[in-house]
Amino acid sequence: MCGIIGIINSDRGKPAEEATARAMAAAIIHRGPDDEGFYFRSNVALGMRRLSIIDLATGHQPISNEDGTVWVVFNGEIYNYPELRRMLIEKGHTLRTHSDTEVIVHLYEDYGDDLIQHLNGMFAFALWDEKRERLLIARDRMGEKPLYFTQLPDKTFIFGSELKAVVAHPGVGRRVNHLALRKYLQYEFVPSPHTMIEGVHKLPPAHRLILENGSLRTDRYWKLSYEGERISMSDDEAAEELTRRLRESVRMRLISDVPLGVLLSGGIDSSTVAALACETARDRVKTFSIAFEEKSFDESSYARLVANHLGTQHFEKRFTEKEMLDIVPEIPRLLDEPLGDASLIPTFLVSQFTREHVTVALGGDGGDELLAGYPTYVAHRFAGYYRSIPKIIRERLIEPVVARLPVSTDNLSFDFKAKRFVQGAALPLGTRHTVWMGSYDAEHQRALLAPEIINQCPDDAVFDEISPYDKMTGSGIADPVELMMTLDAVHYLSECVLFKVDRASMAASLETRAPFLDHTLVEFLSRIPLNQKLRGLNGKFILKRAMRDKLPPSVIKRPKKGFGMPVAKWIKGDLRQLVRDTLSPRRLKDRGLFNPEYVIKMLDEHEKNQADHRKLIWTLLMFELWPLGE
């Protein structure tokens, strides 16, 4: 696991600034505290920071081919590298190390840009072909590892694993991207290819970029689709095949030359990973969880239950509310872009705690999106029934009653869910889903943002990720739920969940691995029928069936909980001063982005229990605490 950076000057006679490259790498030292390496040739600089996981002795980067004409810097893990290494040696290649990184340069010699099709893993890499003076950059299929880039007016190309590395180059400005700001307010994250800095881009998941003769081109090399031919299996056959594929994915992700463990929340996804790790690992599996004083947010009892059932060596740490609150001012240090998901806090805490014992941890990310685990998928089915109710009854009876429900600060309280449901139920499919999952819809944004931002960035451009889903009525997908699973997998999972996990774990110098995101497993899950994922109101049906003899029944049957935080209560209490200071009228007026009167009204309503604005306020607070923008 590493962080990578690079500079390619379009002027071949202009050497890349060595000091600048080193400063860019230093900005992401947390991603790789164990080692650093650089390649300097004429107008090219490549660099990396390394967290040593595989081949500790000889895995130093950058790594080249036999004659030193192809060089690579790499962030991630190639899980099938032992098989690739054997294949390359049989074909006559000489490999000097036992690292997964080295197979990339030799695959390039044989397969060119299509080398990516041979990789099973999480990765972002940059490969420089000296002979052709050509750069190839690629990012993994599901978006586990990040990659940012920009091209300056003089055609200098700059890239890095995090935004903070790119802006460490003196030629890159820090002007806020207003379109990205609007998208962030809607989704609570910034979707690819946008970033919060004007002129800087994210390479989307499953894409590669080629820089040649000063020109850029990108293309998608893989796509998640539910439109192919479906696999016909009985429930038992599907459960058995899912178990087999998941077990193999876990086995591949247990390869490491350093200690590893499993992040165990007590939900079915992480519990499944722990159970299969116990079947596969050579040594007793270590599991890690955290506990909270706030009961409606704590699920540590389930993690202990699973650990006892499986016989793992379990580690648990209980955090006080003060310890959680102390993390909030540190969030800017963890993030290079704003993120409105407050579960970043427990994700960082469990990463930090786990890193005290191991360097690598497996987790359950991806199970909800791929196996219909979110309550919103069930809510979409209810929305159809709700829309069949006469509009006059909805508007004059149901919605006023829901609006008068008492405000609660509990995690996923009934009033919070009910108000969210009626807010979005009558909207088109994609918009409805985003209203349920996100923060500021178009109406709230028009009240919040300066008029020039609204005029500069019309709604069509802001919501272009979801507008196609509003218009889809066929497209070969039988059920709206699968449309939303697709949207979540390519949008919410990669741009929010995996962004959060990467930044939180890397801030603690912990590598995390996600067995559910093995692309061959993802392709299998996309081909089994929806009713084997969502059976009536029961999400993750086939996973629960597969694990019924491996996990306690109470874990199999428990409802989705999520990694929540008592944000609504904090804003009224211990965080009140920070919120009021950060979102003060004077500060907001100086920034010129937001309407101070609207923000104060929102804060007042929340503090007086007139409304639950937790998501709106937290999303805005995270942007205002973000340190990189101007």
SS (H, E, C) 24-62: HHHCCHHHCECEEEEEEECCEEEEEEECCCCCCCCCCCC
Catalytic residue (choose from 2, 278, 457, 496): 2
Q: What percent of the chain has pLDDT over 70?
A: 92
Question: How do the domains of the chain map onto residue ranges?
Answer: 2-176+204-220
pLDDT band at 475 (very low <50, low <70, confident <90, very high): very low
Q: 206: how many CB neighbours lie within 10 A of its CB?
A: 21
What gap in Å lies between CA 301 and CA 319, rounded to an integer?
14
Average pLDDT of span 593-606: 95
Give the global pTM.
Answer: 0.92
pLDDT of residue 472: 65
pLDDT band at 35 (very low <50, low <70, confident <90, very high): confident
Mean pLDDT score of the chain, rounded to an integer?
89
Q: CA–CA distance from 115 to each of 78, 120, 430 (Å)? A: 12, 11, 35
Q: What is the CATH number of domain 2-176+204-220?
A: 3.60.20.10
Residue with tokens 């029944």: 553
602 pLDDT exceeds 90?
Answer: yes
Q: Please name which of 560, 515, 557, 551 lies closest in space to residue 275, comparing C-alpha atoms.
A: 551
Q: 339: how many CB neighbours lie within 10 A of its CB?
A: 25
Can 2 be counted among the known catalytic residues? yes
Beta bridge partners of 449: 594
Residues 6+ apart with CB under 8 A from 458: none
Q: What is the pLDDT of residues 398-418, one digit of tens each?
A: 666 666 666 565 555 666 676
